[in-house]
Structure formats: C-alpha cells, structure tokens
Structure 1
Amino acid sequence: MTMTSEFRHTSWGPEEPALSVRQVLTLERVLAGEPEVVAGADGLDRAVRWVHVAEAADVGVMLTGGEMVLTTGVLLAGDEAKQAAYIQSLHRAEAAAVVLGLGRAFPTPPEVMRRAAERCGLPLVVLHRPFPFAELTEEVQSRLVRAKFAAVSLSEAVRTSLTALITSGAPLQRLLDEVAQHSGCPVVLTNLAHRVLATAGERSAVDDVLRDWERIARQAGGSEGDGWVRAELGGRGERWGRLLLCGYRGDSATGRLLADRAAEALVLHRMLGGASGRTWEEQSAHGLLTDLASGTVPARHLLPRARAAGLPVNRRTFVPLVVPGAEPERLDRVLRTLGLTGLVAELADGATAVLLSLARDQDAEALTGRLAARLRTPELPDAVVAAADPRTCWDDVPAGLREARHVADAVAGAALDRPAVVRLRDVHLRGLIRLLRDDPQVQSFAERELDGLLCGGEGELLDVLRTYLATGRNKSRTAQLHHVSRPALYRRLEAIQARLGIDLDDFEQAASVHIALLAHDAQQG
C-alpha cells in the first residue's frame, strides 16, 4: 500500500468526477493524433473537468477552471504577443491543459507558447496528425458523464445501505464494515486528537495502516493524495471526529463522494446514540479489551491497534484490573485525577475492566492502591478492585485480564470487610470453586450437601449459614449482621444442622458444607 505524507480536507459537497490530462492523452482517439507534450509535463495529473474547443484569443474569460482547451491557433499565428497572452489567459483561468493541432497555422510547436506554458506550468500538447476535435470532445464528455453516473449510483447505494443499518439499530462497527466493503480499502475512524476509535477492512491492510499511524496522525492536516481521503465528522456547530479512506483505488472524486456519504451516516448514528448507548470512545476501548481478554486474536496482532488508540505500549508495565459495579465514566475521572493512562471498558456483567499502562519506574502496587482508595466513598464503602499481577510483556496482557476477571468473579458475594485491592492470592478456596463451578460433579455435590435447605426453600436459613461460615463460625458477628439476638441465632443454627444432618462444630463437616455453599453461590451467580 502506498502511503502519502499529506492529507487535504474534503469538502462536504460532492465534486464532479474527472479524468487527468495524462488519462485523456492515452485514449485511442487521441493517440491517433500522435500527441506530444512539449511543456508543463509536471502538470499531467491535473483533473480535466471538461473539454472546450475555442479559437478566440481571449478564451480564458469563458472558462471556470479544469478545462482542456483544443485549438488550431489560427488567430494566433504571426503574433507572438498574442501567443504569450493566450497562454497567460489560460493559466489565470486555471485551465487543465491546452492542445494545439499542428497544421497551416503552426506547422511546428510555437516556441513562444512553449516557453510561456513551461514558465506557468500549464501542460501544452501538440498533435502531429490532423485530428477532428469533435471526436475528442465526444469521447471525453461521454466518459465524464458515465463516471458521474457511476459515482452518483455508488453514492446512493452507500446511502441506502447505511440508512438501513442505522434504522435496524446496527452498531458502529457494522456501518464501518459496510463502508469498507464499498470502498475496497481500510477505513479508519478517529477523534480530533487522531486517536483511532474503530477500523474496518481487510485485517492485514488495516494493520499496515495502524503500524504507521503515529506518522500518519502527525501529518493529518495537509492535503490528500495517493487514494487517502478524509471527511470531517461533526454537527451542531462542532467537529468531533474524522473518517479516512486509506488507499482508495478509484478516482478521487468518487472517493470523496463515498467518504461524504459515510460521514453523513456516521454523524446520524452518533446523534441517535447508536445501538449500544456507548460513546465511540467507549466502544473502541470495549472492543480492544474484549479481544485481548478473549484470546481469539493474538495479542501481537492487537498491538498496532492499542498504539493507535493512544495507549503507550513501548517499555511499559501493564496492570489489568476489573472493578465490579463501577461506572466507566467514574473510573475515567479517577484515572485523569491520578494522572494515570489506561483503557476503560464496561463488561457484559456490569463490571468494568481497566488496563493501566505505567512507566517502568512507577510503583504498580501503590498506584493500584491509590486508585482503589479513590473509588471507596461513603456511597460505595465496599468498592473493590480485582487486580492481576503487573505484566511487562504485551503478550502476557490477555492472561492478566482473564486473571483479574477471575478474581472479580471469585470475590463476588464474599463477606464484608474485603480489602480495597484483591489479588489472586487473596481468593483462596473461593477462587478454585469459581473455576470448577460448571463441573457436573461439583454441581451434584453442592445439591447433595445443601439438599435439606434447597428443597425446602429455606432462603433465610441459607443466608444465616452463609454468613456464619464466611465469618469463620463467629456467632457474635453473625448475630450482629443479621440483627438478631444470640438465642435467636442459636435456634436458627440448630434448625440448619437438623435439616442438613450435620454438626457445624465438626470442622470437616462445616468445611464440606462451606465448599458446597460456595459452589452453589458460584453457580447461581
């Protein structure tokens, strides 16, 4: 893929499809006239918007720019001042090129016109064989009309398909996939800080773009070229993003039309809130963290994506965290307050995942503790952060996210007075049971041990048993937590022992029931 170092802002209005001067000169009808470029060869990639046959010396006043002017020069022969003024007039009118048919007026290329065209960079082409200009105008105009029709058809097809997706509540990624399918090139969505929010297209091509993204992002304020097309995203008087077609292989006008149609759809999608209710930034972080944790995509393949999303990845320490019940917005604010860099995303079960990226000399454990302390407020006194051990290798991040998820799962429903930060070494037996909860034999064991309470629907007694075992069989603490007197608690414990047929003072029997209760809670959770 060829990458340009420049970009140009795309206008919101569709532009006319065009051929370049170079493309016109390769047409069979033009080749029959034996064309020769005698000046302005550097301008052969100029766009030809129309072909105009004119013999008037002051033809420039009739042009609007982008025309290829055809002439025999019959009114210019013998007057060098007129010849120079003619070229200057075309240059001021921003003509694409001038084609001079050699013949009676000019048997050879006129030197005055050649020098004037070379000075102002206007392509001057001479035809060595007689050539009916009408054939050339017919050929070029028909091609331009066909190109315009094709561009409009593509524009309407894109508009229709994207509107249908928005109406059906499709997520952002589905819209970008549709744009990539129509454009045949990688599609990148960024915020105004050039952070990549989402991509679409063939994975290898997208990875090629993201690997060079830092350079591309630094240069994103210039002009377009080499198939790179940009459309601004915004509404209600402000801009908040950009859409880029990276390496579009069609003509530039069609690419800009396609980008504009896609931008209109994305603006509408954002204004309607999208299917998930998440912002684009949240969807980006969610997708990246989900892909990392799932392991379906190798971590090394996600590295360019993480870097393009603004996460520092070179010589860093990564700390995977999961915070049950915390809102992503609140965690974002805490990270900014503490000056920490990381990705934040809400998981399917209501927990929020965080991937911190720290400098190697920062104390990961201390900073995780500060984060957890900030989360504990009078409204949320029991907020807990499930933390995996820090990783210094990017390839180890997926395992770290799964470890943090496991710790958060294990700590769910645990007793009160939990530490603010919980790690794998803190979950002990509860963590093992959570891992084994789906095993049929474990399920059968839990039902058998707790049958006397489960079959009778004794929810209150089950809660008392849970608290009693979680507090280390502390009767005073259990009575206090359940707001009952000691004698009332004794009666409940006797009822539990009678229904289960066990002696809770026997350590092995109490341990067996405790394990069964942990398994039951894990299965229910």
Structure 2
Amino acid sequence: MTTVAPTTWQPLEPALSVRRVLTLERVLAGEPEVVAGAGQLDRPVRWVHVAEAADVGVMLSGGEMVLTTGVLLAGDEAKQTEYIRSLHRAEAAAVVLGLGRAFPAPPEVMRRAAERCGLPLVVLHRPFPFAELTEEVQSRLVRRKFAAVSLSETVRTALTGLITAGAPLQRLLDEVARHSGCPVVVTNLAHRVLVTAGERSAVDDVLRDWERIARQAGGSAGDGWICTALGGGGERWGRLLLCGYRGETATGRLLADRAAEALVLHRMLSGGSAHTWEEQSAQCLLTDLVRGAVPARQLLPRARAAGLPVNRRTFVPLVVPGVDPARLDRVLRVLGLSGLAGELAPGVTAVLLSLARDQYAEVLTAHFASRLRTESGAPGTVVAAADPRAAWDDVPAGLREARHVADAVAESSAALDLPAVVRLKDVHLRGLVRLLRDDPHVQAFAERELHGLLCDTEPELLNVLRTYLATGRNKSRTAQLHHVSRPALYRRLETIQARLGVDLDDFEQAASAHIALLAHDAQQR
C-alpha cells in the first residue's frame, strides 16, 4: 500500500463580523461608537455597500454593512425611521453613519428604531473616507473566499490521494478529524455509530450519551454539530457528523461535504469487499475487547453507540469458526436477539449476545446454535461459548475464553462428536493443554517426549501415532484410516515405540505421549 504523507493546511481567517470590522485599524481611526443593536455585533458581514439613497433597502440581498452620511434623511424623522426598517427587512448586517453636517450627533429617532429592530447602528465621530473601509473589507472577503476554495481543494486532494492509495475507511476519517480538529462520527440512518475518528477522550465524551445528543443535533449545526448526508443514486444510507466543530459553520460544512464525497467514493470502490461498514465497526469493537489493550469500561460508550444494549444486561460471548459475520447477523435478526458479530481473525468470528436479565442465556445460546446449523446448511457447525457475564468488565475475559474453546475444538480430531454449543468443560484435556501451551516446561516436555519422531524428516510416523492415540489405541481403526494392513501398522507402531522408548500398551506411557502430542500440536498452531 502506498504511504500518503499528511497534507499541510492553513485554517481560514475568522469570518468577518460587524464586531471584527469595527476593530480594523482604519475603522478605529473614525472613532466608532455602537449606539444601538449592541447585542447583534456578531452578525456576519457579506459585503460593504456605500449608499445615500433613502430607499437603499430594495437594493440589498442580506448581510451588507451599509455606510452613509444620511444627507438625504436629515430633518425628516419619518424617513429616518423607514430607512432603518427597510434595512432591517433587507437583513442588512449593520448601518454605519458618519457624523457631520447632516447629523452632528447620533439621531435619536434612528437610534430608537434600530434598537427596536435589533439592527446595529454605529456612528463615526471623526470624518472617515468610506472608500478605505470598503477596500479593506472587500479585500478580506475576497481573500477568505479564495482561502475557502483552496482549503476545499486541499481536503479533496488529500482524501482522494488516500483512496487511490487504498487507504482504509478509518484512515480517511482520521484525516478529516485532523482538518476539523473535532470528533468525526459516521452513522447509519438509525443513528448507530459505524466509525469514529479524533482524539479518543473527545470521541468517548461524544459517545457517552450518543443516541440522545445525535437525535437532538439532527441536521442542524447548533453548538458546532455539523451533519451531512451520505448516499448516492437518490438513496441515503448514512450520515457524517462533525461533533463540536469550533470554526466557522460555513467552513465546517465545506469540510463535511468534502468528507462525504470521499466516503461515498470509498464505498463505491470497495463495494466488492466482504465487509460492510457495519461489520467493520463490530469487528473493531470486538477485537479491542479481546486484546484488552483498552479497559472495557472505556469501550462501553462505543458499544452503546453501536446499538448494543448495555444497561442491566447479561452478555454471552461466543466464537463461531468458519461462518462469516453477515450470516451470523442474519440469524440474530431472525431470532430477534441483540448482539454484535465481527471477525477476530480470518475464519474466526466472535458474537457478543446482549440479553435481558430475565432471559435464559443457555437456552437462547442453544437456540442460536441450532438455528445457525439450519441456516448454514452445515450440521457440524459448532458454537464455542463462554459462561454468561453479568458485568461488562468481564466481557473481554469471556471472549478470550470462547476463543480458547474454539481453538481447542479446531484442534480436535475430526471423529470427535461435538454438540452444537461447546463450552470449556467440553474440551477436557485438549483445552487444558492448549491453555498451557506457551509454558516453557510444557514445551520442553513435548520436545523431550517426542524427540525421536520430531527429528524424523518424514511426518508419517507422527501422524500414525496421532491417529492411534486419538482413536483410543484402536489398531483396526488406525489401519483403516491410514489405508495400511494390520501387520504394516504393527511394524510402524513398533518403530514408534523404539524411537520414543515407550510401551504404548502401558496406559501411563501412552497418556504421556498423548499429552506431549497435544502440546506439540497446540504449539504448532
């Protein structure tokens, strides 16, 4: 996979508001004074318009800061009042009145009208060339417009480069989080969290009460929550949210739109993948639980946001070898069970059932295993189960126990008749040996007991010994499975006994060889 270096980017200048315009050096030279609408100074300024016409309101489209000397309004209070009202109706950002011959002092009629309308009215106590202010503001607006386009292209280029390099979905979201400086969350239409990115503690804060705040945020940008739809071909299938974005709303929407475009493209290009985003979300959560690198308590918000009920529940950890997560999800839906399914390793899928406290865990687990055998068409499908866990903190140990049972089952003889649900007590000696396989004493024991056969480049004798012990030292069955005559098998068994220095007719010596062989096989796997 090609490595894509992080792109450099510069944040946009803060949006021009009435308040910011009044702090510009050129404006301060005119000694500005806000005489009305002081609570509305954070209105964005889209443009600056110099006009002396009494009916200037009809020429505006909203967001303008109007500069005037009021020469055509002097002496007519009705005109002054209507002038302010017309600017309010046109949604002007503010009006700046230069004091002079027309108005040597702030006009009280205009002040009262502006206060009623909530329109900022600013007077300049010193003569001020309006052209300088117009030039300053317009140049800043143009620079911001260009910077916004540049940022848009920077983000698009970075994300497209990652997609071209084959980067996973998480890498794309990490890049979006880096640009936005806030948690990024991707959900399906039911608000179930699929992927997150951003600083871990900030993401956990967002997910702690996810369903409530996600539904409240909806599609609005209140409190820095910016939401954009994910979909294509007239069909929506998800949402992307910037959670707590601290920059300007327009910039946040731009980032969210660029991210949405990239995610849609990524989904299209990976349409042939075996894993959907939902499966990847479950896989990441279950893998993190099994590894134990992060305390289970810290993963609780992610589980809740992923749609898993966690309050006052009983958790049943399962591992199912050889069955893909999509099939397991279907069985969960058919049975109406709450749970997550995801791959822990190729061909090994974990399932975490979440049951109400009054439900019978063993009965429902057996029902799940039975239905899975029917759905998969494989009567030999085995579900490895750990004991139910009443506390979330015990779930990681339960998943590891179920994984251990599944591995022990995989190492069992094909002739072993197993029930649909296998637990730790069902794997007997094989399970114990597998637990101890990494112990140096066990490893040394296996090497010592089997040394005479392990040095042989031909594995046939080791295979004969494995079959002979697995069949309970049944010579007829062993000869049949290896397609040899009984006399030929006797000769091979004599060779095995000679090389190992044991008597396989002696139960204790045979048991010792069997345990050593189980340990050797477990270590090899």
Give the alignment's TM-score, normalised by structure 2: 0.88
Aligned partners of 2:37, 2:88: CA distance in 1, in Å?
Answer: 11
Aligned to 2:427: 427
Q: 1:29 aligns with which of 23, 26, 37?
A: 26
Aligned partners of 1:222, 1:175: CA distance in 2, in Å?
Answer: 22
**Shift in alpha-carbon separation, 1:45–1:477, aligned structure 2, 3 A:** farther
Q: 1:412 aligns with which of 373, 397, 410?
A: 410
- Within a 5 Å distance, the mapping from 1:106-255 to structure 2 comes to 106-255=103-252
Tell me if structure 2 keeps the 8 A contact 1:345–1:353: yes
Q: 1:286 aligns with which of 278, 283, 288?
A: 283
The alpha carbon displacement at 1:167 in A equals 1.2
Tell me if structure 1 keeps the 8 A contact 2:221–2:227: yes
For 2:393, give the aligned amino acid: D
Partner secondary structure for residue 344 of structure 1: strand
Greater RCO (Cα-Cα under 8 Å, separation 6 or more): 1
For 2:428, give the aligned amino acid: H
Aligned partners of 1:489, 1:236: CA distance in 2, in Å?
Answer: 69
Q: 1:396 aligns with which of 391, 394, 397?
A: 394
The sequence identity of aligned pairs, in percent, is 82
Aligned partners of 2:209, 2:76: CA distance in 1, in Å?
Answer: 55
Q: 1:93 aligns with which of 90, 93, 100?
A: 90
Aligned partners of 1:347, 1:71: CA distance in 2, in Å?
Answer: 70
1:82 aligns with 2:69: no
Aligned to 2:310: 313
Partner secondary structure for residue 48 of structure 1: coil
Aligned to 2:322: 325
- The range that moved more, 217-226 or 471-480, is 471-480
The alpha carbon displacement at 1:219 in A equals 0.6
Tell me if structure 1 keeps the 8 A contact 2:187–2:239: yes
The alpha carbon displacement at 1:246 in A equals 2.1
Deviations 1:386-406 (A, max 9, x none): 111111121111111111111
Tell me if structure 2 keeps the 8 A contact 1:176–1:200: yes
1:522 aligns with 2:519: no
1:345 aligns with 2:338: no
Aligned partners of 1:344, 1:324: CA distance in 2, in Å?
Answer: 12
Tell me if structure 2 keeps the 8 A contact 1:17–1:253: no
**Shift in alpha-carbon separation, 1:252–1:357, aligned structure 2, 3 A:** same
Give the alignment's TM-score, normalised by structure 1: 0.88
Q: 1:54 aligns with which of 32, 51, 75?
A: 51
Number of residue-to-residue matches in the alignment: 508
Partner secondary structure for residue 219 of structure 1: helix
Q: Could you tell me which runs of 5 or more consecutive residues in structure 2 were left unpaired when the two chains were aligned.
A: 1-11
1:358 aligns with 2:355: yes
Aligned partners of 2:367, 2:469: CA distance in 1, in Å?
Answer: 31
- The range that moved more, 461-470 or 398-407, is 461-470
- Within a 5 Å distance, the mapping from 1:3-14 to structure 2 comes to none
Q: 2:298 aligns with which of 297, 301, 308?
A: 301
The alpha carbon displacement at 1:418 in A equals 0.7
Aligned to 2:512: 512
**Shift in alpha-carbon separation, 1:196–1:216, aligned structure 2, 3 A:** same
Aligned partners of 2:326, 2:351: CA distance in 1, in Å?
Answer: 12
Tell me if structure 2 keeps the 8 A contact 1:503–1:509: yes
Partner secondary structure for residue 347 of structure 1: strand
Tell me if structure 1 keeps the 8 A contact 2:450–2:516: yes
Partner secondary structure for residue 66 of structure 2: strand
Aligned partners of 1:290, 1:274: CA distance in 2, in Å?
Answer: 23
Q: Could you tell me which runs of 5 or more consecutive residues in structure 1 were left unpaired when the two chains were aligned.
A: 1-14
CA RMSD of aligned residues (A): 2.8
**Shift in alpha-carbon separation, 1:121–1:223, aligned structure 2, 3 A:** farther
Deviations 1:304-353 (A, max 9, x none): 12222222111111111111111100000111111111111112231001
